[in-house]
A and B are shown apart, each in its own frame.
Chain A
Amino acid sequence: MEINLSIDPELVRKILTEFIRSEITRVGFSRAVINLSGGIDSAVSFVLATEALGPQNVLAIRLPFKTSSGDSLEHAQMLIDQFGCPSVTIPITEMVDPLIAREPGMPEIRKGNIMARARMIVAYDQSEAFKGLVIGTGNKTEILLGYTTLYGDSACSLNPIGDLYKTQVRQLARALGIPEPIIAKPPSADLWAGQTDEGELGFTYEEVDKLLFLLVDQRYRPEECVEAGFDEKFVRQVFERIRKNQFKRVLPPIAKLSSRTIGYDFLYLRDWGT
């Protein structure tokens, strides 16, 4: 069993910047917008976009909520200053609070989803205003685990880092010159105070990336992962998470009635004709 999650950052950087440039310019755009959370994933997508399109063509959006950590805002600003791109800061508190106030005692998960979707609304509004496509920031680990809000932070026009595990995103971040405090801090959705990804998931990215690499990339059966030394409960939990979250990774199914149905036998790439 070999678990090799190392990447050559320059190779990945080359492919991903070309990808962003190709997929944006071929449909007649030259600009992009991106929600900068202050975390490592959006930092990496952001830097790749500035390299692909030029910093003047990338709008960085900061979307603080009243309970967001001050670090998040500061770290996003560090990137904006370092790469010299246009930016806007639009607090989402006034958008989100009235909805949350309708139901006293609303669970954190619902509040978090509302915030993620409010940020999506702003990103797509700025997309129209700036005439730039929305760059996604979801990595392979969180997409597989479904650790994302459907139509919230998962919504985007294109996603450059969705085939990189979190631990691989960290390798790329170093090569891109992203400030160390952003790389080193514990990953967090920052939807409520003290929230961390690893705390909420119950395992570390280091551990789960190795398991996902075997299950997904190397096509190991769950029992083979256990034989390879992973805890059985952990393997079962992760496998179930992947399965249960498939709905977040596909378009909603359309009920087939006609002889040609979108999604089943009406098959074209998005890049059709370009």
Chain B
Amino acid sequence: MKLNLALAQINTELGNIQANLEKHLTLVKQACQDGMDLLVFPELSLTGYVLQDLVPVVSCRPESDDPFFQQLLDASRNIDLVVGFVDEDSRHRFFIASAYLSQGEVVHVHHKVYLPTYGLFDEGRFFAPGDSVRAFDTRFGRFGMLICEDFWHASPPYILWQDGADVLLFSSASPGRGLNGEPKLESSTWVEHINRAYASLFTIFVAHTNRSGFEDGLNFWGGSTVFDPNGTLIAQAPYFEEALTKTEIDLNQLHRTRARLPLLRDERPELVQRELERILHK
């Protein structure tokens, strides 16, 4: 089975949902014309990243009566979509969220579970952390979604793998940083390194969609990637620029890689559970 995957590496306007929505819809149209099955947008793609006091102003609900989601759900009748937004729950807590939309329905919403609140990051000040990591079924198989800091921690990708995900969709608004004389920023090197590692260790597809552009002095470095279950880089967007990066994913590669390398078969989650119980309760 083949999946035509497109990564929408976009710049956003900070706090201007209408402008960002229009960009989403333009790219949806383009991706549909190009015969894509799934289009993935970066973290907070509807709002921009360093929202601070804009958080409560730009929040929305991933439901058909929300004026923004209504249009995205309509668009998802032709192509599956992953969009990034601020989710305000019924108790008025705000989450950094990604929604998977397909055939006019919300298939799954992930709330970012790890909110970086250190260094240049201040997410914990403005957002509530999510409290679940779940894989979900799509018309192309079982997928998992994580947002930026979620996959800087090893456990969420591991949980999704054990929950049956064969394709991990990562999204980021990753500020570029770290000069060392190399032609690539340290942040880019690190993210590519761990993406490749997850694909290799779990024999799964890992697609990472990052954003581009600037917010004040922060640059978002783009460089979105897709790694296959062998850990081979099969697509990469340019650094720092907007791009629609298209690639065909051959899901039969899962069969071939796992026939050679049965890491999933041999994994022992009960052992992990037992040892974690011991560690947590000693």
A→B interface (CB under 8 Å): 4, 6-8, 10-12, 14-15, 18-19, 22-23, 163, 168, 265-274
Q: A10-B183, A273-B15 are in contact. Are A268 and B215 (CB under 8 A)?
A: no
Query: Shortest beta-carbon distance, A226 to chain B, in Å?
Result: 25
Q: A18-B240, A22-B214, A268-B54 are in contact. Are A273 and B14 (CB under 8 A)?
A: yes
- Chain A residues with Cβ below 8 Å from B180 are 4, 6
How far is A185 from B276 in the complex, measured between Cα atoms in Å? Answer: 62
Within residues 1 to 45 of chain B, which ones have a CB less than 8 A from any CB in chain A? 13-16
B→A interface (CB under 8 Å): 13-16, 50, 52-54, 176, 179-185, 213-217, 219, 239-240
Taking a contact as CB atoms under 8 Å apart, the answer to whether B219 and A8 are in contact is no
Taking a contact as CB atoms under 8 Å apart, the answer to whether B14 and A18 are in contact is no
Query: Shortest beta-carbon distance, A174 to chain B, in Å?
Result: 14
Taking a contact as CB atoms under 8 Å apart, the answer to whether B52 and A269 are in contact is yes
How far is A217 from B216 in the complex, measured between Cα atoms in Å? Answer: 21
Taking a contact as CB atoms under 8 Å apart, the answer to whether B184 and A271 are in contact is no
**Chain B residue nearest in CB terms to A158:** B217
Taking a contact as CB atoms under 8 Å apart, the answer to whether A268 and B214 are in contact is no
Interface of A is mostly: loop
**Chain B residue nearest in CB terms to A164:** B179
How far is A10 from B181 in the complex, measured between Cα atoms in Å? Answer: 10
Taking a contact as CB atoms under 8 Å apart, the answer to whether A8 and B14 are in contact is no
Taking a contact as CB atoms under 8 Å apart, the answer to whether A271 and B14 are in contact is yes
- Chain B residues with Cβ below 8 Å from A18 are 214, 219, 240
Write 22 A-B pairs (CB below 8 A) sorted by A numbering.
Answer: A6-B181, A8-B181, A8-B182, A11-B179, A11-B183, A11-B185, A15-B176, A15-B240, A18-B214, A18-B240, A19-B214, A19-B217, A19-B219, A22-B213, A23-B216, A266-B53, A267-B52, A268-B53, A269-B52, A271-B216, A274-B14, A274-B16
- Chain A residues with Cβ below 8 Å from B50 are 269
Q: How many A-B residue contacts, CB cutoff 8 Å?
A: 61
- Chain B residues with Cβ below 8 Å from A19 are 214, 217, 219
Taking a contact as CB atoms under 8 Å apart, the answer to whether A269 and B216 are in contact is yes
How far is A112 from B15 in the complex, measured between Cα atoms in Å? Answer: 43
Query: Shortest beta-carbon distance, A87 to chain B, in Å?
Result: 28
**6 tightest A-B contacts by CB?**
A6-B181, A267-B52, A22-B214, A8-B183, A269-B216, A267-B53
How far is A269 from B14 in the complex, measured between Cα atoms in Å? Answer: 9
Taking a contact as CB atoms under 8 Å apart, the answer to whether B53 and A15 are in contact is no
- Chain A residues with Cβ below 8 Å from B53 are 265-268
Query: Shortest beta-carbon distance, A268 to chain B, in Å?
Result: 6
- Chain A residues with Cβ below 8 Å from B54 are 268, 272
> Among the listed B13, B185, B216, which residue makes an inter-chain contact with A270, where contact means beta carbons less than 8 Å apart?
B216
> Among the listed B14, B181, B184, B240, which residue makes an inter-chain contact with A272, where contact means beta carbons less than 8 Å apart?
B14
**Chain A residue nearest in CB terms to B239:** A14
How far is A88 from B30 in the complex, measured between Cα atoms in Å? Answer: 47
